[in-house]
Amino acid sequence: MQIWITILVTFFAGMGAGLGTGFAGMSAAAVISPMLITFLGMDPYMAVGIALSSDVLASAVSAYTYHKNGNLDVKNGLIMMGSVLAFTVVGSYVASLVPSATMGNFSVFMTFLLGIKFIVRPVMTTKESMQSVSAKKRVVQSLVCGMLIGFICGFIGAGGGMMMLLILTTVLGYELKTAVGTSVFIMAFTALTGAVSHFAIGGTPDWLVWTLCVIFTLVWARIAAVFANMAQPKTLNRATGIVLVVLGAVIMGVGILK
């Protein structure tokens, strides 16, 4: 009986995480961790480690799909990734100096609000208007925004994917598909760093749960990324919005169950 509960929980956790990653560049940790902690009674640190490692392949396969369809800004993505990684460390250090407050709920609430934004006010930027920004300005923007995202992620310990999507679409004026493609590209590397450090500190995970989470997240992320790249901008905005609203509501619900 226990094995069926494990399969069921990891399937739905992987499905939610994969859809969130493939459609919106959302971190799998936001979905998988609370479900493993609530329904399988897993240690929170280990649950985050499993969620981050599920994120690595799911983000990588999504990034490959977006890149194949010409929806990935590699150059500026690498610049942003460098500043995100550096300032995550700074944010973590500052967080250790101030009184601890759980702000993980902040990223879940932000997911929900961002979903509503995509439904009500879709991102209709075109590739052409994106390319009208000078290369030098784009580099500076990527660097500064990466610092901001990294610091916030390190400080509150969550919200990287959503923060990136919000900043790429609103501040940097990216077209939605390119924003998601660039976001998952960066996340594949940040999640790998996080997963390795979690397992180095916390020890080996429950291999069955780990394997199931990685496979289910990977499959659903691939399905979502293929659909997202074929969809019209308006349809994609709606689909992304619905996925984020539903996931935000479900995670908040799971939080209440805890």
Burial class of residue 101, CB neighbours in 10 A (0-12, 13-18, 19+): exposed
Average pLDDT over residues 29-33: 84
Distances (CA, A) of 106 to 68, 82, 141: 33, 24, 25
| pLDDT tens, residue by residue, 87-141 | 888 887 777 776 644 555 666 777 888 899 999 988 888 888 888 888 899 999 9
Q: What is the pLDDT of residue 106?
A: 65
At 28, phi and psi to the nearest 5?
-65, -25
Predicted TM-score (pTM) of this structure: 0.88
Q: What is the pLDDT of residue 242?
A: 93
Average pLDDT over residues 193-210: 87
- Confidence class for position 258, pLDDT limits 50, 70, 90: low
Are 240 and 115 in contact, with CB atoms under 8 Å apart?
yes
d(Cα 35, Cα 98) in Å, to the nearest integer? Answer: 28
